[in-house]
Amino acid sequence: MDFEPIPGPRGLPIIGNLFDLPSDQPPIQGLEHLADVYGEIYRINITGQEALCISSAEMMNEILNDDKTWAKPAIPNLARKGRPAGLVAAATADPDWGQSHRVLMPAFGPIAIQSMFEGMKDIANQLVLKWARMGPKEDILLTDDYTKLTLDIIAANTMDYRFNSFYRDAMHPFVEAMMNRLNAATDKAMQPAIVTQARSLVGAADKSADDVQTMVNIAQEIITERRSNPIEKDDLLNHMLHGRDPKTGEPMRDALIASEMLSFLIAGQ
């Protein structure tokens, strides 16, 4: 079978297509412009990091639902040695991906998501009240507040856990570690591939590994607490703790559950 090459802008040595994304516009607008030029699937290269971009709902729906035609590779910079990769980082050929996918799919239907709306509203109200109490002249750092909002909503609705970000002066350790990890990932994505390779060759320390371990430890604490004090709630954590893989009949192990808890927060944020 003959395949047509995936189109995309040619780019320049080292920096790739960096100049194809205007610096005076949000990156999403630059990607939308490239979609107008190259169609619903195109290839770009940013400082040596190659990516495929999907720009139509129809193709995205096909990719997400046609496992026979499309497969997801592992994402090395998210997968960590010594623990399961989780849905975000694992390849579809990974048995852990298959088990998590089969156990969790029933929990992501429209009715299940709709049942979370009241919990979402609760956290959103906390943010609005915080802004109201700050007064009209106080500067607000929206990026931090929206990150806290997202993480608080996901934690409260998927695992019945409260970060209480809007009731504390310092960030919850999990939220702080998550923000550090996301910032590190953004910085790494923007640096040339040759720099990433050079740092790897010389064994440069990856400080974000400590942040990831902090998140894993807190996730395991939540799992242990739920096992010790079970509650009757139809949330994702209970689906993972008590669900069985319909294909193998096996339950999910704690290490995989912890990785998936991180997946919800990373992907949701």
Write the pLDDT tens digit of every residue in 173-222. Answer: 988 888 887 777 666 666 665 666 666 555 555 667 788 889 999 999 99
Residue that wins the pLDDT comparison between 9 and 49: 9
Residue that wins the pLDDT comparison between 259 and 269: 259
Write the pLDDT tens digit of every residue in 145-169. Answer: 998 999 999 999 999 999 999 998 8
Q: Which two tokens stand for residue 150?
A: 């997202």
Q: Once rounded to an integer, what is the mean pLDDT over residues 5-22? A: 88
Q: Please tell me the predicted confidence (pLDDT) of residue 2.
A: 66
Query: How many residues in the chain?
Result: 269
Residue 84 has pLDDT above 90, yes or no: no
Residue that wins the pLDDT comparison between 65 and 199: 65
Q: Please tell me the predicted confidence (pLDDT) of residue 203.
A: 52
Angle at 91 between CA 239 and CA 113, to 5 degrees: 35
- How would residue 170 be classed by pLDDT, with cut points 50, 70 and 90? confident
Q: Please tell me the predicted confidence (pLDDT) of residue 36.
A: 94
CA distance 252 to 237: 11
Q: Please tell me the predicted confidence (pLDDT) of residue 26.
A: 82
Q: How far is CA 156 from the centre of its chain?
A: 17
> Could you tell me the sign of the dihedral formed by the alpha carbons of 149, 60, 256, 230, in that order?
positive
Q: Please tell me the predicted confidence (pLDDT) of residue 38.
A: 95
Q: Which two tokens stand for residue 38?
A: 């190259």
Domain 75-268 CATH assignment equals 1.10.630.10: yes
Q: Please tell me the predicted confidence (pLDDT) of residue 243.
A: 93
Q: Please tell me the predicted confidence (pLDDT) of residue 64.
A: 81
Q: Please tell me the predicted confidence (pLDDT) of residue 27.
A: 81
- How would residue 254 be classed by pLDDT, with cut points 50, 70 and 90? very high
Least confident residue range of 9-13, 90-94, 206-210:
206-210
CA distance 254 to 260: 10
> Could you tell me the sign of the dihedral formed by the alpha carbons of 248, 255, 205, 144, in that order?
positive
CB 171 within 8 A of CB 165: yes
DSSP character at residue 169: S
- How would residue 268 be classed by pLDDT, with cut points 50, 70 and 90? confident
Q: Where are the domains of the chain?
A: 1-70, 75-268
**If you search the block for the tokens 């209480």, which residue do you land on?**
164
Residue 46 has pLDDT above 80, yes or no: yes
Q: List, as one string, the DSSP characters of 220-239.
A: HHHHHHHHHS-----SHHHH
CA distance 67 to 89: 16
Up-side HSE of residue 248: CA atoms within 13 Å toward CB? 12
- Those residues whose C-beta lies under 8 Å from the C-beta of residue 126, and which sit 6 or more positions away, are 152, 166, 167
Secondary structure of residue 109 in the 3-state scheme: coil
